A and B are shown apart, each in its own frame.
Chain A
Amino acid sequence: MSALASSSSDLQKARFEHALRLGDDALILAQRLGETCGHAPTLELDLSFANVGLDLLGQATLLLGVAGEIEGQGRDADALAYQRDVLAFRNCVLVEQPNGDFARLIARQFLFSSWQLALFQKMEALPDERLSAIAAKAVKEVTYHERLAASWMARLGDGTEESHKRLVDGLAWSFRFVEELFEVDATIAPLVAAGEAVDVSKLRPEWDARVAQVFAEAKVARPKPMRVVMHGRTGRHGEHLGHILSELQFLQRAYPGATW
């Protein structure tokens, strides 16, 4: 009896963590893209990045809302976004990386969006109708994000000597953090076994093929995998996330409960 009870509460905790991971990825990347507003290389790209950021913010609102419902402690999406400290965030380390130059931003966006697209396509089949509905809506958005980033990968990589070099540097920076995206750790494994979460390790062949295709168009080599000590899924973030939160959460911390 007690074993059953503990396994059921473990599953419930895993469900919460699962939704948090998905929501925090979208929230933190949305914030990063928001930072480019007014600073993109052209007016057109300024709007492109803002649009992508707002799509992700919409996903974050929905996913963190589901996380709050699963948790059942009365926290809504806003409470989860604005009232958690850095160690409680579950986003992957890739999305918290600084924007850097335009090429690094594109590299990060392509690596993330191509993964998120593969994930959301599989998520449409999840039994939790809230998650499958969010995924079905988001797939249309992410399809565009991925295409936008892929076309810029090709343009930069196959552009000038300078743009090629910057893209190679941007990929070298970002590629260190992709291993985490395909990891099924002890927290999420029971949920994957129960068919309630996508087995992200199985997304790898499809993602590898797409990356190889776009890297070939961009005429860049695949960087070598590297081990990093950071692990966002368990809250071991880099130095950058705290700075993101200090901006993201400033208003609610200085003026708790403020609305407008």
Chain B
Amino acid sequence: MTTPDFPLWEVFVRAKGGLSHRHVGSVHAADARMAIESARDVYTRRMEGVSLWVVPSTAIVASDPGESASLFGPAEDKVYRHPTFYVVPDNVKHI
């Protein structure tokens, strides 16, 4: 059903209050209302969520895989950017 009448929508589900919406998949739908209904029936039938976002897939801009070396490569040898090079005192909890 990849006809123009049923374009693709990306589906995001919020698992519970306080968490962010996460991408779970996509649905084909003629309009936003139908996309929400389809997403509800396909992705939340086992209590997976409390809120839904649907976004036209064409609205998503993706990074170019051809640029991944320059975009993501430089981070590989920057381990010092992880805050793990100090000792957490024993009395400090919840970190």
**B-binding residues in A (CB < 8 A):** 41-45, 47-48, 51, 144, 147-148, 151, 155
Which of B13-21, B22-30, B61-69, B72-80 has 4 or more CB atoms under 8 Å from chain A? B22-30
**A-binding residues in B (CB < 8 A):** 1, 6, 27-31, 33-34, 37-38, 40-42, 45
User: B6 contacts which chain A residues (CB < 8 A)?
Assistant: 42
Given contacts A42-B1, A42-B6, A42-B28, contact A47 B33 (CB under 8 A): no
Given contacts A42-B1, A42-B6, contact A155 B41 (CB under 8 A): no
User: A48 contacts which chain B residues (CB < 8 A)?
Assistant: 37-38, 41
**Smallest CB gap from B43: residue in A:** A47
B33 touches A151 (CB 8 A): yes
| B70 → A minimal CB distance (Å) | 38
Quick one: which of A43, A47, A148, A155 contacts B30, CB cutoff 8 A?
A155
| B54 → A minimal CB distance (Å) | 12
Given contacts A51-B45, A148-B37, A151-B37, contact A44 B29 (CB under 8 A): yes
Q: How far is the CA of A205 from the CA of B94 in the complex (A)?
A: 60
User: A147 contacts which chain B residues (CB < 8 A)?
Assistant: 37
**Smallest CB gap from B6: residue in A:** A42
A155 touches B42 (CB 8 A): no
User: B27 contacts which chain A residues (CB < 8 A)?
Assistant: 44
Q: How far is the CA of A45 from the CA of B6 in the complex (A)?
A: 13
User: A51 contacts which chain B residues (CB < 8 A)?
Assistant: 41, 45
